[in-house]
Amino acid sequence: MSSEIIVNKTGREVRVALLENSQLTEFHIDRGRDRGYVGNVYKGKVVRVLPGMQAAFVDVGLERAAFLYVGDIYKEFLDLPNREPASVDETVVEEVPRSQPRSGQPAIQDLLKEGQEIVVQVAKDPIGTKGARLTTHVTLPGRYIVFMPTVEHVGISRRIDKDKERRRLREFVDKHRPKGAGFIVRTVCANQPNHILKQDMDYLLRTWEKIQKAATEKKAPAPLHIDYGLVVRFLRDNLRDDVRRIVVDDKSTHAELQSFMGDFMPDFEDRVQVYRGKEPVFDVYGVETEVSRSLGRKVWLKSGGYLVIDQTEALTAIDINSGKYVGKSSLEDTTTRINLEAVKEIVHQLRLRNIGGIVIIDFIDMDKETNRDKVYKALEDEARQDKARTNVLKISELGLVEMTRKRVQEDLTRFLTEDCFYCEGNGHLRARETLCFDIFREAQREAGRSGQRETIFVNAHPLVADMLYGEEFESLDAFERRLEKRIVIRAMGHFHMERFEVYSR
């Protein structure tokens, strides 16, 4: 597989796109003031302890207080068995926080007190109305390894499958790690010489020493360590041998990357190129079109079928429809083919849109169990290629698949859009016909209050006024005779569609 990374900077906005075989698969944005916080280390102050939730709110200096579950309080507070960090994508992690302490584990009110100062790291960015999620277990990622200063554990990426190489890496890391600390060896470390690994270890140890020093000198809330910006962070975590070039359209960003590459990835330094074309770089590589497509509710498949993606606060629902595809043989064969085609696009859209949490997929009904198993296995195989942790349940009798995808940041749609100021995010407006009859009922109430006044005035949106004097004119005329009042309709161009006023004088 051939990959490219395209970087665009416009003002304070920086965008990074990952193309695999010329198809956009990942898209990330940093706008400076609303950049991600995952990986940042803070000295925070506990502002509230919630025994009923077994969680605490911690002020780390962000817009909203962050929250810390009892299950995310680690070794520096408790003598718990070692666990792997939630911020490393190559380990198995717990997705659901514990609302109850483990058997034998102290309750959160016995661990934290209001006003207490603690060192924490952001594990998940603020999403929607929720504050950031914290952990007291700090992990510092490098290019080849991840340093865990509070966990005495050495882990090797499961994607390094050769036993001899795994043994070599484990022995080297175990020999050079500080007592009481641990490391996780990343996939890209395979076959790297020992001095490269040692260089990464030393850098991370120096970083941890700086954090510890800052923690003793600063008063909460205060940042102790801010992770790299989006571009460097993305390359550090995602650059692989199959990435043939990194195209950057900004000279200062190019210089920053060259400096980082020279220090940590000299083998990739010659792959960074400055884009000098006149057209926007995302237009040249077709990224802009794909981003616009990713915001749409409907996604077309090559066969003529399509997906409908609806995101709610609780979950994301994906519906598969046959659309224009009519097949060539049986109905069962047609639906199976569409479902199999949809599987690949669904996983692609989840990854591209950064959709996380609960996902419900409504496949087209298949009668044969063998076909349902085939579609399920295809979904499972595709999801396995996703770096985010997923859990897929089998197709139910209703043809639904329930799955979860690890969510660590705001999804693309919520990041790039805002609620419609007109419908206030509902996605629907009351029908004009409905509003007409609401106006008639309000006019009836006003008639009862107006006494001897002969005229009732109605101020409404022009489209509603047009309907009252058009399709509903007979109803309006009948209503005037019934109330024995004159009703005057006024079109108000500045009114919201659903707003109207009814009064008499």
pLDDT tens-digit series, residues 334-367: 889 999 999 999 999 998 888 988 999 999 988 8
Least confident of 125-129, 158-162, 250-254: 125-129
For 311-337, what is the mean pLDDT?
Answer: 85
In the chain, % of residues over pLDDT 90: 37
Kind and range of the H or E run holding 121: strand 117-124
Contact 161, 187 (CB under 8 A): no
In angstroms, rounded to a whole number, what is the distance separating the alpha carbons of residues 418 and 439?
31
Strand partners, 272: 246
For 395-404, what is the mean pLDDT?
Answer: 89
In angstroms, rounded to a whole number, what is the distance separating the alpha carbons of residues 104 and 91?
25
Which CATH superfamily groups domain 432-504?
Ribonuclease E, catalytic domain (3.40.1260.20)
**3-class DSSP state for residue 196?**
helix
Contact 71, 98 (CB under 8 A): yes
In the structure, what pLDDT confidence band is assigned to residue 211 with cuts at 50, 70 and 90?
Answer: very high
Domain ranges in the chain are: 3-34+242-288, 41-225, 295-416, 432-504
Contact 26, 18 (CB under 8 A): yes
Contact 211, 224 (CB under 8 A): yes
Q: Which residue has the higher pLDDT, 80 or 159?
A: 159
For 418: left if phi > 0, alpha if psi spans -120 to 50, otherwise beta; the answer is beta
pLDDT at 306: 92
> What fold characterizes domain 3-34+242-288?
Nucleotidyltransferase; domain 5 (3.30.420)
For 409-435, what is the mean pLDDT?
Answer: 83
Least confident of 68-82, 104-118, 229-243: 68-82
| Concatenated DSSP letters of 314-378 | SEEEEEEE-TT---SS-HHHHHHHHHHHHHHHHHHHHHHTT--EEEEEEPPP-S-HHHHHHHHHH
Domain 41-225 has CATH 2.40.30.10: no
Q: How many CB atoms lie within 10 A of CB 268?
A: 18
